[in-house]
Structure 1
Amino acid sequence: MRIALLLPCLLFAGAAMASAPMAQVRVAFDRDGIVSTWTDGYADKAAGRRVSADDPVRVASISKMVAAIGVMRLVEQGTLDLDADVSTQLGWTLRNPAYPDVPITLRLLLSHRSSLTDAAGYYAVPLDGDLRDITGQAKAWDAAHAPGTFYRYTNLNFPIVASAMERATGERFDRLMQRLVLAPLGLHACYNWDSCDEATIAHAVVLYENGEPVKDNDHGRKPACTVVPARDGSCDLSAWKAGANGALFSPQGGLRISANGLAKIGRLLLGDGTVDGVRLLTPAS
């Protein structure tokens, strides 16, 4: 079976221009490897740099799938439990106030059945913030549906998952994902740039909207602050606290990875958890 991955690298259709077409990468692959690639357009229009299948780009919600692979590695190791009350893994109580007796689990968070919503926000949590500042708001919850009874796509689920991962391991989410998934697969990828090397950052794909850069327009350099700064404007990552703010490295949308790298993730799934001789997951996972 062959699968084609079409990645419009700039992600905004409005960016297409006759003189500088929207960057696109198409990769076809099967479990044995990449079959063909096709590219068009610019990774950085100002620099005149055309896109390649090895250039890292923010892949938005595909980030969730890769984060879930990290979760399942921790589940297989016995570090996390898909069906336990996630409150015990977070160190604080996570409950829908309309259903205080119904526990919320990692399985419900991963499958978007937690009864959380994005109405109170999910990503703009400052470096010195806490996810409880969001989950403590009534509008963060669906009062009409108990956890486990209704599907609602919710970005906030994944910062909470990341918080549980951090607290269980004592590791920053971005570094944990390097250890669990990205490094074992030999992928030059990262969540929110801080754990990417300089060579990878130098090939970042700029995101445009209506022809104007809106993200990752850092001229081949690491951003001055790779996360949402603290409330006083500072950006000292040593202030990070395990499990307090799983949104910091954007598990729901901040993965930067190339089309070829993403194809390797696809081949891992086609191979029931194994790719190029490396086993990350059991077939059951």
Structure 2
Amino acid sequence: MTLLILEDEIPAYQKLLSHLKTFFDDEITSHWARSIVEGKTLLAANSYDLILSDIKLLDGISFDLFNEVEVTCPIIFCSAYDDYLFQAFNTNGIAYILKPYTNADFIKALEKYQSLFKQGEYDSKLSSDTFNALKLALQEDQNNYKKRFVIKRPNGIQLLNTSEISMIEASGDFCIAVDQEGKRHPISQTIGSLVQQLPPQKFFRINRSEIVHIEFIEQIESHFKNRLLITVKGCKEKAMTSTSTTSDFRKWLE
């Protein structure tokens, strides 16, 4: 079995290779490329059974590589970019692993790969239209949503990444962002304004005054009057959906 790993970061490559050797009991041959140029050379000279690819490489994004070179094997994308970018497209890539991934995530993707080939359900044609659509979606995501907030403190300015926010609470004309460690950060904007700036696949406004981040939801419990109690990492008190948002919240979770 011959594999191609497209990964610009050396530690990430070493981690992938270790997982692969463990899963396949060392019965693999692997090639490694850190750039589009290197990947193009390897794909032109070799045939692969599976590709594991980061999206961002040293000289561009892997979508451009797959548009230039015909690929006839499954691709497992391994990246820090949000996986919702891929849910809208019917791709022939079999899986997407979001960094930092666990060993269980990795095994699940490889088992799916094996299952598809055993059942003969894999279509070897990869569409350039699909990769163009993914590239466009990636560009729109990067441009449209907030990546960080500037927090003014008495001793200076602090940058708060949206990926670190577990919940946002409304407080009059401003909001309080709570991070996973329970620290509170004032943001001089209304909750209505903030909800428009945050990626909807990650953040959901569960009631008039609270927004939760899906990656920090630890537990969900049923409550009276069709409401749900939500335990969020870093927050002492449980949040609660309103009766009008519960149904949409359940769908959003899926």
Task: Give TM-score, length-normalised by structure 1.
Answer: 0.24
Query: Which structure has the bigger radius of gyration?
Result: 2
Bigger RCO of structures 1 and 2 (CA < 8 A, at least 6 apart): 1
